[in-house]
Amino acid sequence: QVQLVESGGGAARPGDSLRLSCTASGFLFSAFFMGWYRQAPGKEREMVARISDQAERTYYRDSVKGRFTISRDNVKNTLYLQMDNLRPEDTADYYCVRLYGAYNPDLWGQGTQVTVSS
Q: What is the pLDDT of residues 21-80, one digit of tens each?
A: 999 999 999 999 999 999 999 999 999 999 999 999 999 999 999 999 999 999 999 999
Strands (E), the chain: 3-7, 10-12, 18-25, 33-39, 46-51, 58-60, 68-73, 78-83, 92-100, 104-108, 112-116
**Confidence band for 102, pLDDT divided at 50, 70 and 90:** confident
**Pairing label, strands 58-60, 104-108:** unpaired
